[in-house]
Chain A
Amino acid sequence: MNLKNKIILACLAVLLPLVSLPALAQSAVSDQYKWLTFTVFGTIICFTMFVTYLAAKRVKTAKDFYTAGGGVSGLQNGWAIAGDYLSAASFLGIAGLISIWGYDGFMYSVGWLVAYISVLLVIAEPCRNIGKYTLADILAYRNDPKKTRVVGAISVITVSTFYLIAQMVGGGVLVKTLIGIDYEYSVIAVGILMLSYVLFGGMVATTWVQIIKAILLVTASIVMVIMVWSQYGFFGDFLNNVVNDPKVQARVATILGDAAKNMTPTELGQRFLEPGLLFKAPIDQISLGMALVFGTAGMPHILMRFFTVPTAQEARKSVVWAMGIIGGFYVLTLFLGMGAAMKVGAPTIIGVDPGGNMAAPLLAQALGGGKDSLMGNFMLAFVAAVAFATIVAVVAGLVLAAASAMAHDIYVGVIRGEHATQAEQVKAARIATVVFGAIAIALGIAAKGQNVAHLVALAFAVASSANFPCVFLTLFWRKCNTGGIVTGMIVGTVTAIGIVLISPNMTYPIAVKAASEKAIKGADDKLVKLNADLAAAADDATKAKITVDVEKANKAKAAAQKKIDDLKGETTSLVGLDKPLFELKNPGIISIPLGFLAVIIGSLLYRDKRADEMWDELYVRQNTGILTAKAVSH
């Protein structure tokens, strides 16, 4: 079977379950317009597959597979970084947070952009100057290659896996919510699609898929924002409309509860533009901010992108482009989120997905003319397809990073002692891709129904506490050595994960039970009162209204009871705790300093002649690009 046939087969494997399955579950797209959604999805998938087909012909060596031959331009790489970075969490999640919580959601988006300053100033250029394919290449340069490759690869695989599970679950839920295809099929579809990009086209195809996706995402956002502006006015007028919008005012009243009683409608609307509706624990926010600012620079799939450009200058240019695209996108998100708060309204958004992830797709539908219009459903289908492409593109980048750690660092570097032919290396990379792709699909299905939102934060926590201190200190601190890298990687990873295991992120059965019992009691009290009201009600209209409330209370009671049943009699969390030992959800504020400290102490206690002897070479090269730049000019 030739390459073309293989790719067509993979394409069919994805499309068939999408088309042939009857849509049983309830979804955002009505049955009448499903064909439209499939057409848009299909067009985008076929287009990316065609690009993969072209790319596959160009992948011959390990360098092609891992870094697209190092021939990507700064502009292209900037778009690809944006495509790699704007994951479902930031694209769908932040628009959702803004639509439900107002200002706090917007504030949250800032950290995701600021994170790129550390990438620009301290990571991108030195890594381009001394790196080859992977994060561990940088660690292995002056330290013991085998030891640092092993710890580096473990950390890369850990970070990628956490991030990957969050993306796979997000993708499954997204497709299920939008078009009603079963969760398992959605995850498999995401997995197969991503596998065919990476397997056949390596970094060449992954780069182009990321560029295409970023362009689609930015285009869709600009079109939607222009539509929002044309309806609600530009900046000042727009925000004035937000403050005076009854849906926004009602939302704030719901959040504030009793505190909202003495507030005028305008005050309620204004409150939406003020901090504090969502975030109550500032230290937690600062901790998350630290994980973002230092973690992005330690994200293996982002770091890997800098090996695809020829020079440090191009690496710099790509970060600047990425910052422009990513930052511009988040500014647009402010208008998308607040636009959705007015046009769709928080109750509807939360009704489709409690996390608010459907705010942008629902806004697209509303802007196009609503649930029953052709244009509305076309726009929904388009945004949904972009969101789907987003997940596939991010997952492809992650799988490539994890596969490179397995194949290049562990297999070629450690097992084969750096001796492998090009053909063997590419084969190892492809096998690792399939293995990791299969793991991703399996974990995605296994994590069904789990709350995985905190896994993204955990991935950033590990990247900032283990990867970043190690990469940063080996590049900039003469005394850093193998001992420091090994200790730092282990301490950073273990503390970040360990703290999360004892944090409020975990489920604490006793607390869940207490809260659920309280909810049941509240519902019971309400039912008693409602039934009394019902008996006293004079006319049918009042009766009907009370009956609705009775149903609501019964539903709340059943939901609380289900939560208790789901615990299956367990009384302690996964690690055997009654209540969290650590009060913050984000471990960064503790684990990042510990990670740095571990590298420093480990280096001082360990003697490593090679790390010291190689320092001059590494430091001169990372600063000047000698040899790297030369290789290109020749």
Chain B
Amino acid sequence: MAQSALNWAAIDNDPRFQRLHSKKVAFLSGLMLLSIVYYFLLPIGAAYFTDLFKIKVFGVVNFGIVFALSEFIVAWGIAAFYTVKAKEFDAMAQELIREADKIGAKK
């Protein structure tokens, strides 16, 4: 199933691929870390900072409810942010796809 018609090592070593790779790794790992930390603040906060979660923000609405709802906003925000940022990666990948035959030609 593996197609080895191209010289993959050459593409891997191409500076444009290296740039795409390092940008992607930095961006994705940062965003991933942020989302995980923010998510686990919810069960940790609910268990160990109960008094904070009980503070009323407006009317009967307390911090806990606002924080839980903010989890949804943050999750959607991350998805939206990534969608925008990914366009940049797409453009970089597109260039590599176009020139794959050239860069990856077997010697």
Contacts and interface: CB of A to CB of B under 8 A. Distances in A.
Interface of A: 103-104, 106-107, 110-111, 113-114, 116-118, 120-122, 132, 137, 140-142, 235-236, 239-240, 242-243, 269-270, 273-276, 279, 282, 285-286, 289, 293, 313, 316, 319-320, 323-324, 327, 330-331, 418, 614, 616-617, 619-621, 623-627, 629-630
A629 B97 CA distance: 8
Contact of A286 (B43, B58, B69): B43
Q: Is the interface of A mostly helix, strand, loop or mixed?
A: helix
**Which of the four size classes fits the interface of chain B?**
35 or more
Contact of B75 (A116, A275, A276, A289): A116
B72 A623 contact: no
A320 B79 contact: yes
Given A282-B43, A617-B2, A320 B83 contact: yes
Given A117-B32, A120-B82, A619-B12, 8 more contacts: A103-B65, A118-B32, A121-B82, A137-B1, A243-B60, A275-B50, A286-B43, A623-B93
A624 B96 contact: yes
A282 B46 CA distance: 8
B1 A132 contact: yes
A226 B69 CA distance: 19
A242 B62 CA distance: 13
Contacts of B96: 620, 624, 626
Contacts of A121: 28, 31-32, 35, 82
Given A243-B60, A324-B76, A620-B11, A114 B86 contact: no
Contacts, number: 164
Contacts of A107: 42-43, 46, 64, 68
B76 A114 contact: no
Given A617-B8, A630-B97, A274 B62 contact: yes
A630 to B, nearest CB: 7
Contacts of B39: 110-111, 114, 289, 293
A331 B32 contact: no
Contact of A330 (B2, B53, B61, B72): B72
Contacts of B53: 274-275
Contacts of A616: 8-9, 11-12
A240 B60 CA distance: 6
A579 to B, nearest CB: 24
A327 B3 CA distance: 39
Contact of A236 (B40, B59, B86, B90): B59
12 contacts: A117-B35, A120-B82, A122-B28, A142-B2, A239-B60, A275-B47, A286-B40, A323-B75, A324-B76, A327-B72, A616-B9, A620-B11
Interface string B89-104: 0100100110010000
B74 to A, nearest CB: 9
Contacts of A116: 75, 79
A629 B31 CA distance: 26
Given A110-B71, A114-B75, A624 B20 contact: yes
Contacts of B44: 282, 286
B2 A282 contact: no
A574 B102 CA distance: 62
B42 A624 contact: no
B46 to A, nearest CB: 4
Contacts of A614: 2
A114 B71 contact: yes
A319 B82 CA distance: 11
A120 B47 contact: no
B12 A327 contact: no
B6 to A, nearest CB: 7
Interface of B: 1-4, 6, 8-9, 11-12, 17, 20-21, 24, 28, 31-32, 35-36, 39-40, 42-44, 46-48, 50, 53-54, 58-62, 64-65, 68-69, 71-72, 75-76, 78-80, 82-83, 86, 90, 93, 96-97, 100
Contacts of B2: 141-142, 614, 617
B11 A626 contact: yes
Nearest to A311: B90
A110 B75 CA distance: 10
A293 B60 contact: no
The 4 lowest CB-CB distance pairs between A and B, nearest first, are A282-B47, A275-B46, A616-B8, A617-B8
Contact of B54 (A117, A142, A274): A274
Contacts of B54: 274
Nearest to A236: B59
B32 to A, nearest CB: 5
A527 B93 CA distance: 77
A285 B2 CA distance: 42
B11 A285 contact: no
A629 B6 CA distance: 15
Contacts of A617: 2, 4, 6, 8
A557 B35 CA distance: 49
Contacts of A243: 60
A327 B31 contact: no
B8 A620 contact: yes
A28 B24 CA distance: 53
Contacts of A316: 82-83, 86
B79 A113 contact: no
Nearest to B16: A624
Contacts of A269: 60
Contact of B35 (A114, A235, A320): A114
Contacts of B50: 274-276
A113 B86 CA distance: 21
Nearest to B11: A620
Contacts of B68: 103, 106-107, 110
Contact of B48 (A114, A282, A293): A282
Nearest to A117: B35
A323 B1 contact: no
Contacts of B100: 624, 626, 630
